[in-house]
Structure 1
Amino acid sequence: MSTQTLSLALPPQYRVDEVLAFHARDAEGLAEQVSGRTLRKAVLLGGVPLLFTVDFLDDEARCRIEADGELDAATQVLAGEALRSMLALRIDPAPFAAFVRGDVFFGPLVEHLPGLRIVQSATVFEALTWAIIGQQINLPFAISLRRSFIGQAGRPHSSGLWCYPEAADVARLALDTLTSRKFSRAKAETLLRVARMAADGELDLRLNDDPQGSAAQLLAIKGIGPWTVNYTLLRGYGYADCSLEGDVAVRSAIGRAQGMAEKPSIAQAQAWLAAYAPHRTMAAAYLWASL
């Protein structure tokens, strides 16, 4: 086993409880566990099972990374990127707060919830597959399917936690392995399609600064629509201007903000969100929080 320790400074108004709550959504704790102010999460990176143990102090996060294998330089880089994502350190909320100062809707929300952040998934592949799993189903069922997905395609770390799988692990699954565990055929086919494309190098899921390019390559894949793309850009890449007009909760919050009797249409929500570019990711975060 190889180990690495590092500390990350936490910015002012960092909301530890909300970051921990995000990682504690699966009460069974198959791949993530939260105890007090400590987070443990297992994930495969470069084929190596890693366990992140993060202790949150007042102004820093101290992390121990334990690898069931060699923690080489390339894996250390991947681990550092994963940690920044898991701790919601990719998107600075300050520019949005300045942008909406005086805004009738967002101004009071930001004052009430200063420093709100969006947690990213450890990898882009995790974000993409979670978006596919969660399409058009309720959150408890989505979490149950995610747990099953990890158990089928992931691998256990020596600590006992299961690692979220990489593309190559998912690509080896048979279709009926998923459909026999309550995945719809369409959802299973899309998961296997993106996994095999990523494993073969046809789909590039490395972090980058090209949201338009990332969106275009994802939209070209059968079974992936605009909501999945924008959710992946938000949770996976950590882009600051993702427009979530296709999200039901976002539309509900917009409707409530507008005093509408029903949710606005996707086109209406898109038009409303356009006023908050280039900060629409943080707009989505506060819209979710407003509910």
Structure 2
Amino acid sequence: MSTSAYQCRLPLPENYRLSDILSFHGRDKWDVAETVHDNYFSKGIIWYDTPACLSIRFQPLYAEIELCIDKQLKTFCPDTFHSMAIRMLGLNQSVNIFEDEFREHAQLGSLIAKQSGLRVPVSATAFEALIWAITGQKISVSAALAIRRKLIQLIGLRHSGGLYCHPNAQHLSDLSISDLRQVGFSQSKAQTILTVSQQVICNELELSSTYAEPPIEHIRQQLLQIRGIGPWTVDYTLLRGYGWLDGSLHGDVAVRRGLQILLNNESINENQTRQWLENFSPWRALVAAHLWNME
């Protein structure tokens, strides 16, 4: 098999939190589509319809990124590769500005001090983030991971190195409701996944991750028009798909639980969480990530 490989190197800030990145990509301990080690991870992805393996190895002040593709490409866009790596590692997130503004905050300041440098890990594509958000609606993380694993294995697309690749919209649109039910999706989630996959193929839903400045509001409105997708799914997709830090994740149970711990108040509801997060716009989703990380 003819293959091709591309590399780049990215500088890392001194307070870069490697453990956050490795934890995100090591959620599924079965190592079906990702494998994580002490200072690097590898992930099976689809690179322009071809199986590929993305590997990122971390050194003290930089990251080495390599993309191995199961095909000899006639053309390759290094800017797209470079931008994907920056986005996945959270290096385009305005963490320092956020921390400078709120490090003295009466409630959030102590959390920032403990978790300085926290960034939100991002998926390889916005489509992958969307499918994960739909999968995780109203079920536990462990249950969502099991369904995700079965879905990836059902498609069965593997890189030559052994890792399975997360399916793209074309692969999922070829499935039936019955196929998706068999791997654990509910009827409604199965229909939503087929709908978004078909809309991506028909260019009715634009989820490209190559935008320098993604049209967040346009994407938001497109997603909200799809049955089975609500505000939490949209905001989570925008966070994990683009690194957009201003989604209000007040509907997230773990966010509310973290806020209850932070404020020492066991009676905080969804609306109160929304109102509290509004104080931190345009970094509401980053604050939510700090609350997640408390657990």
Please report the TM-score for the alignment, with normalisation by the length of structure 1: 0.95
The ranges of structure 1 where at least 4 consecutive aligned residues each deviate by more than 6 angstroms after the TM superposition are none
Distance 1:43 1:132 in 2: 19
Quote the offset at 1:278 in angstroms: 1.1
Deviates more, 1:75-84 or 1:149-158: 75-84
Q: Does the 8 Å CA contact 2:147/2:185 hold for their aligned counterparts? A: yes
Q: Does the 8 Å CA contact 1:45/1:75 hold for their aligned counterparts? A: no
Quote the offset at 1:183 in angstroms: 1.3
Cα displacement string for residues 225-278 of structure 1 (whole angstroms, at most 9, x for unaligned residues): 00000001110011121111111111112223333223x222211111100111
Does 1:269 pair with 2:273? yes
Deviates more, 1:220-229 or 1:98-107: 98-107
> Percent identity at matched positions?
36
Structure 1 segments unaligned to the other structure (5+ residues): none
| Change in 2 beyond 3 A, CA 1:81/1:278 | same
Quote the offset at 1:7 in angstroms: 0.7
- Report what 2:181 is aligned to: 179
The aligned length equals 290
| Change in 2 beyond 3 A, CA 1:147/1:182 | same
Distance 2:113 2:75 in 1: 42
Opposite residue 258 of structure 2, the aligned amino acid is A
Opposite residue 269 of structure 1, the aligned amino acid is T
Does 1:223 pair with 2:228? yes
- Report what 2:256 is aligned to: 251
Quote the offset at 1:76 in angstroms: 4.3
Opposite residue 121 of structure 2, the aligned amino acid is V
| Change in 2 beyond 3 A, CA 1:268/1:154 | farther
Does 1:212 pair with 2:214? no
Secondary structure of the 1:82 match is: helix
- Report what 2:87 is aligned to: 85
Quote the offset at 1:75 in angstroms: 5.5
Give the alignment's Cα RMSD to 1 decimal: 1.5
Opposite residue 22 of structure 1, the aligned amino acid is F
Cα displacement string for residues 195-225 of structure 1 (whole angstroms, at most 9, x for unaligned residues): 1110111110013432221111110111100
Counterpart pick for 2:265 among 260, 267, 270: 260
Matches within 5 A, 1:44-63: 44-63=46-65
Structure 2 segments unaligned to the other structure (5+ residues): none
Counterpart pick for 1:24 among 17, 21, 26: 26
Distance 1:62 1:122 in 2: 16
Does 1:279 pair with 2:283? yes
Quote the offset at 1:74 in angstroms: 5.2
